[in-house]
């Protein structure tokens, strides 16, 4: 015990003498029972202020460190001591506040602060920045833990805080002070007669114009200060009589940020106010808002002004009227209508839109406001439309009406009285010859359709007649807007489209007209897809699309390949957008998919007919479009229907089971996966199998999986037809990607790898291309799911870069590995795709690529450069670790490699790594050489890169200025305008380097 006391005394002496500041922690470690108080007695009573300050500082730091078990009496003594020390020399104040903060945070339950808080406020103005922050933090802690006692001080606490905060300038302390003020307002502290004083001491900072210094270590932002101050100013209606005049004053500022802050603060405050708080200031507020919207040059100011008007109107709408009270809402809206309504009668003047926006903002605030404004405005707008003859004026009036309809969305009763006139106006515009007027009318009709009760069934039918007529016109812009309206209307009124639009479109599609009818057919096919969003419409539209495929196959109607492809794409679009219900699932499972397979099989078995007609369904583009239909459909099937579809389709391809196909007149010995002679028309149907089984959810079990994989492997390695063996390889890979992990999968992959490698290593193999195709797709399937055996396949791909025949193909294979696949191995097809697989592949294999490049003979190096370009070009974040190889790739004679490498480099140049700047000589030389490339795209991209290099550090690029300016003289005379433009932009930036007014 005596030893501890001696040690404690020595530590105290060392600290007080200023020799060891770290001894405070050692003192706290030794002094478990807080005996340091008695040991500090000499320093605390010293006649030297700095010695007393060191003693108090040690005492405060020990309180922070040890958190000893002080009794209530000891705490009271310490509090009295610290309170007394506040009157001591100013150098003692900081450690006193530090000790008080320790007492507040640890022993707050023992303390009584009535007198002590007042003392803190007395000394506050003389404190330094960090000491004031300490007091603010103490107040925040006390407001959390001793709220009742602080509220017991009444308005004295508010007055003391106002005195303390007055004149605060440091942003860090302001943030804390605003937090204290916010607590005072929102937690029900008694403001007494000091509400105006509290407002004045905080509002003097409004609007905030603080801009943090660069690399500010404190992290104080302007937005944080703005929001905290706004919470204070808008926190209580007691501030209304002070805040609203201040906002009106600040809106006269020429500073846009001040205007924006004022408008946003106005929007925030009126949500807490009542109409009586606003009544006195309505005219001034309206005058300011009107000016900001009428005269603003900033969209943000305009939007904030409109939001503020909506908030004010909403506040006034909440007023409760009595027999003798004034209707503040009507009074305010009279002001708005008086200043804005007459401008709506001048559609050729610039104030029509600001006026319309103001009226619409007020209209959207409440049901009462919308009734008042529409009753005053709509008759005038309708009359103006009927009296005007110029299409531009009528279009403007239509757009204004549409904005009003959209502003009161959900308040259908507002426009019911004007329904006949609105419908008459819209249908009249639809019959006009002016295309822009018709397009605007379709938009207004869409808005009317979205409001309940504004279109009767007869109106909808008349609208469909007009839309059908417009669809068959030749102007593409009108057709796009009409298709959008058709989709919106069909969702709300499907019956009219089933009975009127679809039969008319069907008639137009099967019309026998020739070339002039091609565009109309395309629009009709697209329109069928656009309206097919409801199951009832899908039941009627899909048979029309299927009839196009049937007629094209039979040759009964002359459809072009493009039209057949568009019919398939329309079917795919229907499958994508229709609501996912059992009804639509049944439609695709029972009708669409079997019918597509049946038509494709008929075409495959039929081949060329004796009449010379060849089914367009044999074309690769049509088959690919059919794959997309089947893939999209199967990916959205419910689990039970998906299992049934898988069973039927696999049975068809493995066993020749055609029982589920319509028009079942097929032979019984069909073997679609068996390769025989000249049977490409049948073997290519494997792409439809791929579209089905590779798009099913992973939870759906594909039947006869082992046999199916075996047949697909055999076809992919032995078939000579490119679409057939490629589709078989992709189907095999898609199934492998989804197959559960285990020994069965590993043995399958190893067996496939062995066969593929044997074919690739055999110099006499006739199917090495097929084997390579299978290998690259399986490698991608395994890479996506992080399977361990993917490394063996990618290593084989790296080794093929040195192959004389397969080297270029192997380099292109890296693009397939790294890019997204649309038809299989995508998340849309439920493939197993892990995050950041590209980055993982790059990090694991970049070293192999560098080593292979360094070891390869000169004639094989382009393969490595192209592989690198394909890898880096598909990375979301371009890597800079292979810059030397990328620079080497710029010298490769292959133009595809050059363009791909330039595309990789361009984003890197925006934020160049140090390694690139160190190789600036080589970079500039290669880029300048490429500005003379025979390929226009290479010239343009190299000029963009030269342009980007000009933003490098000036001292690095200035030595190249003269050389670059000379080299860019040639592309200034290029015969391609895009090249000349790029050269002008790049040369301008380089010319300004180092010159007055330049960078």
What CA–CA distance (Å, rounded) separates 30 from 368?
75
Q: How many whole angstroms separate alpha carbon 559 and alpha carbon 599?
A: 15
User: Which residues lie across from 88 on neighbouring strands?
Assistant: none
- 3-class secondary-structure state, position 639: helix
* Burial of 486 (C-beta count, 10 Å sphere; 0-12/13-18/19+): buried
Q: Would you give the end-to-end CA distance of the chain in angstroms?
A: 73
Cβ atoms 508, 519 nearer than 8 A: no
CB neighbours of residue 917 within 10 Å: 14
Residue with tokens 């305008």: 977
- The long-range contacts involving 650-654, CB below 8 angstroms and separated by at least 24 positions, are 650/689, 650/693, 650/702, 650/703, 650/704, 650/708, 651/703, 652/597, 653/685, 653/686, 653/689, 653/708, 653/711, 654/704, 654/707, 654/708, 654/711
Q: How far is CA 971 from the centre of its chain?
A: 39
Q: Which residues of 368-382 are buried (b: 16+ CB within 10 A; e: fewer)?
A: bbbbbbbeebbeebb
The span from the CA of 177 to the CA of 165, in Å, is 7
Task: Report how far residue 959's alpha carbon sits from residue 972's, in angstroms, rounded to the nearest whole number.
Answer: 22
* Size of the chain, expressed as the number of residues it contains: 999
The b/e string for 952-967 (b: 16+ C-beta within 10 A; e otherwise) is: beeeebeebbeebeeb
At 751 the pLDDT is 93
Q: What is the mean pLDDT of residues 929-953?
A: 90
Q: What is the pLDDT of residue 286?
A: 92
What is the rounded distance in angstroms from the CA atom of residue 589 to the CA atom of residue 637?
A: 8
Tell me which of 102-111, 163-172, 232-241, 869-878 is least confident.
102-111
Phi–psi pair at 336, nearest 5 degrees: -65, -45
Q: Which residues of 490-523 are buried (b: 16+ CB within 10 A; e: fewer)?
A: bbebbebbbebbbebbbebbbeeeeeebeebbbb
pLDDT band at 39 (very low <50, low <70, confident <90, very high): low
Of 710, 804, 730, the C-alpha closest to 774 is 730
Q: Which of helix, strand or coil describes residue 608?
A: strand
Instruction: Report whether 476 contacts 482 (CB < 8 A).
Output: no
Of residues 653 and 166, more confidence is placed in 653
pLDDT value for 222: 85
Amino acid 507: pLDDT: 87
The Cβ of residue 531 has, within 10 Å, a number of other Cβ atoms equal to 27
- Band the pLDDT of 350: cuts 50, 70, 90: confident
As a whole number, mean pLDDT of residues 213-230 equals 81
Residue 728 near residue 862 (C-beta atoms within 8 A): no
CA distance 324 to 318: 17
* Partners of residue 614 on adjacent β-strands: 608
d(CA 539, CA 242): 65
Q: What is the pLDDT of residue 82?
A: 66
What are the DSSP E strand ranges found in 653-765? Answer: none
Q: What's the gap between Cα 67 and its chain centre?
A: 49
Rounded Cα–Cα distance for residues 85 and 94 (Å) = 10
CB of 860 closer than 8 Å to CB of 888: no
Mean pLDDT over each residue of the chain, to the nearest integer: 82
Structure tokens at 535: 């199951």
pLDDT given for residue 32 in this prediction: 45
- pTM value is 0.70
Reference 530, options 478, 576, 463, 584; nearest CA is: 576
Higher pLDDT, 208 or 150: 208
Average pLDDT over residues 429-454: 84
Per-domain residue ranges of the chain:
1-109, 580-607+614-703, 712-877, 893-992
- β-strand partners of 608: 614
What gap in Å lies between CA 787 and CA 910, rounded to an integer? 36
- Contact (CB, 8 A) for 118 and 154: no
SS3 assignment, position 614: strand
Q: Band of the pLDDT at 489, cuts 50, 70, 90?
A: confident
Q: What is the mean pLDDT of residues 703-721?
A: 91
Distance CA 596, CA 549 (A): 8
Q: What was the pLDDT predicted at 28?
A: 44
State residue 723 phi and psi, 5-degree precision.
-60, -35
State the DSSP string of 515-543: GGGHHHHHHHHHHHHHHTTSHHHHHHHHH
Structure tokens at 753: 């790898």
pLDDT tens track for 588-599: 989 999 999 999
pLDDT, position 261: 92
| Token pair 């709509």 in the structure block, residue | 378
What share of the chain in percent tops pLDDT 90? 25
């Amino acid at each position: 015990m005596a030893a501890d006391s001696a040690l404690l005394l020595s530590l105290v002496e060392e600290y007080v003498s200023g020799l060891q500041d770290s001894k405070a922690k050692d003192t706290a470690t030794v002094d478990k029972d807080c005996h340091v108080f008695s040991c500090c007695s000499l320093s605390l009573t010293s006649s030297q202020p700095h010695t007393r300050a060191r003693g108090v500082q040690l005492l405060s730091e020990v309180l922070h460190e040890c958190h000893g078990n002080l009794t209530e009496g000891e705490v009271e003594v310490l509090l009295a001591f610290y309170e007394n020390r506040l009157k001591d020399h100013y150098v003692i104040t900081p450690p006193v506040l530090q000790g008080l903060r320790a007492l507040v945070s640890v022993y707050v339950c023992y303390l009584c602060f009535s007198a002590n808080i007042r003392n803190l406020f007395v000394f506050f103005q003389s404190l330094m920045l960090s000491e004031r922050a300490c007091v603010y933090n103490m107040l925040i802690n006390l407001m959390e833990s001793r709220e009742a006692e602080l509220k017991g001080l009444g308005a004295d606490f508010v007055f003391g805080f106002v005195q303390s905060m007055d004149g605060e300038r440091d942003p860090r302390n302001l943030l804390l002070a605003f937090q204290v003020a916010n607590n005072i307002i929102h937690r029900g502290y008694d403001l007494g007669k000091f509400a105006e004083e509290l407002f004045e001491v905080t509002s003097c900072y409004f609007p905030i114009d603080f801009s943090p210094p660069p690399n500010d270590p404190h992290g104080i932002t302007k937005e944080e200060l703005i929001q905290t101050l706004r919470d204070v100013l808008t926190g209580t209606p007691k501030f209304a009589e002070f805040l609203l005049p201040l906002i009106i004053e600040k809106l006269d500022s020429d500073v846009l940020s001040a205007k924006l802050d004022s408008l946003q603060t106005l929007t925030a405050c009126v949500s807490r106010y009542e109409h009586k708080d606003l009544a006195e200031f309505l005219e001034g507020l309206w005058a300011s808002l009107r000016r900001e919207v009428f005269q603003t040059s900033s969209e943000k100011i305009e939007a904030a002004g409109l939001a503020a008007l909506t908030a004010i109107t909403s506040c006034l709408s909440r007023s409760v009227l009595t027999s003798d009270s004034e209707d503040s809402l009507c009074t305010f809206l009279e002001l708005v209508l008086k200043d804005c309504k007459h401008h709506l009668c001048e559609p050729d003047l610039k104030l029509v839109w600001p006026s319309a926006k103001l009226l619409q903002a007020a209209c959207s605030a409440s049901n009462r406001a919308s009734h008042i404004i529409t009753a005053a405005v709509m008759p005038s707008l309708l009359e103006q439309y009927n009296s005007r003859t110029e299409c531009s004026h009528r279009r403007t009036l239509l757009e204004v009406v549409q904005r009003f309809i959209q502003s009161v969305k959900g308040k259908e009763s507002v426009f019911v009285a004007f329904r006949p006139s609105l419908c008459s106006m819209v249908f009249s515009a639809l019959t006009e010859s002016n295309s822009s007027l018709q397009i605007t009318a379709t938009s207004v009709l869409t808005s009317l359709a979205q409001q309940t009760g504004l279109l009767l069934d007869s109106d909808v039918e008349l609208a469909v007649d007009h839309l059908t007529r417009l669809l068959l016109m030749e102007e593409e812009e009108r057709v796009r807007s009409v298709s959008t309206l058709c989709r919106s209307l069909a969702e709300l009124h499907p019956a009219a489209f089933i009975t009127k639009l679809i039969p008319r479109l069907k008639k137009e599609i099967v019309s026998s007209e020739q070339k002039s009818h091609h565009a109309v057919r395309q629009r009709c096919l697209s329109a069928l897809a656009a309206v097919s969003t409801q199951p009832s419409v899908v039941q009627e539209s899909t048979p029309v699309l299927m009839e196009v495929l049937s007629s094209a196959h039979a040759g009964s109607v002359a459809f072009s390949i493009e039209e057949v492809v568009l019919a398939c794409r329309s079917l795919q679009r229907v499958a994508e957008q229709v609501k996912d219900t059992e009804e639509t699932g049944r439609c695709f499972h029972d009708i669409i998919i079997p019918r597509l397979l049946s038509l494709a099989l008929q075409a495959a078995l039929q081949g060329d007919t004796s009449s010379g007609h060849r089914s367009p369904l044999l074309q690769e583009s049509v088959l690919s479009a059919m794959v997309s239909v089947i893939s999209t459909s199967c990916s959205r099937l419910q689990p039970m229907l998906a299992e049934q579809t898988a069973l039927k389709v696999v049975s068809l391809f493995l066993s020749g089971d055609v029982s589920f196909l319509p028009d079942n007149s097929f032979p019984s010995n069909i073997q679609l996966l068996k390769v025989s002679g000249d049977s490409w028309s049948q073997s290519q149907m494997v792409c439809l199998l791929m579209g089905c089984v590779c798009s099913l959810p992973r939870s759906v079990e594909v039947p006869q999986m082992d046999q199916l994989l075996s047949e697909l492997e055999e076809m992919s390695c032995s078939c000579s037809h490119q679409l057939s063996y490629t589709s078989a390889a992709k189907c095999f890979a898609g199934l492998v990607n989804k197959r559960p992990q285990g020994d069965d999968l590993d043995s399958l992959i190893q067996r496939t790898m062995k066969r593929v490698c044997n074919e690739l290593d055999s110099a006499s193999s006739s199917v090495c291309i097929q084997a390579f195709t299978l290998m690259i797709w399986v490698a991608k399937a395994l890479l996506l799911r992080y399977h361990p055996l993917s490394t063996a396949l990618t290593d084989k791909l790296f080794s093929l870069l040195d192959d004389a025949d397969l080297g270029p193909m192997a380099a292109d294979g890296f693009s397939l590995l790294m890019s997204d696949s649309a038809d299989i191995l995508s998340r849309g097809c439920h493939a197993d795709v892990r995050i950041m697989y590209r980055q993982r592949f790059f990090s694991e294999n970049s070293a192999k690529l560098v080593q292979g490049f360094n070891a390869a003979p000169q004639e094989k190096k382009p393969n490595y450069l192209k592989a690198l370009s394909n890898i880096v070009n598909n990375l979301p974040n371009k890597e800079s670790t292979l810059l030397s190889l990328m620079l080497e790739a710029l010298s490769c004679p292959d133009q595809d490699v050059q363009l791909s490498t330039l595309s990789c480099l361009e984003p890197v140049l925006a934020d160049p790594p140090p390694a690139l700047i160190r190789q600036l000589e080589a970079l500039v030389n290669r880029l300048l050489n490429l500005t003379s490339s025979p390929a226009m795209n290479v010239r343009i991209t190299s000029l963009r890169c030269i342009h980007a290099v000009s933003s490098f550090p000036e001292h690095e690029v200035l030595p190249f200025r003269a050389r670059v300016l000379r080299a860019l003289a040639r592309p200034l005379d290029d015969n391609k305008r895009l090249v000349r433009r790029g050269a002008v932009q790049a040369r301008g930036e380089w010319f300004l380097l180092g010159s007055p007014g330049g960078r």
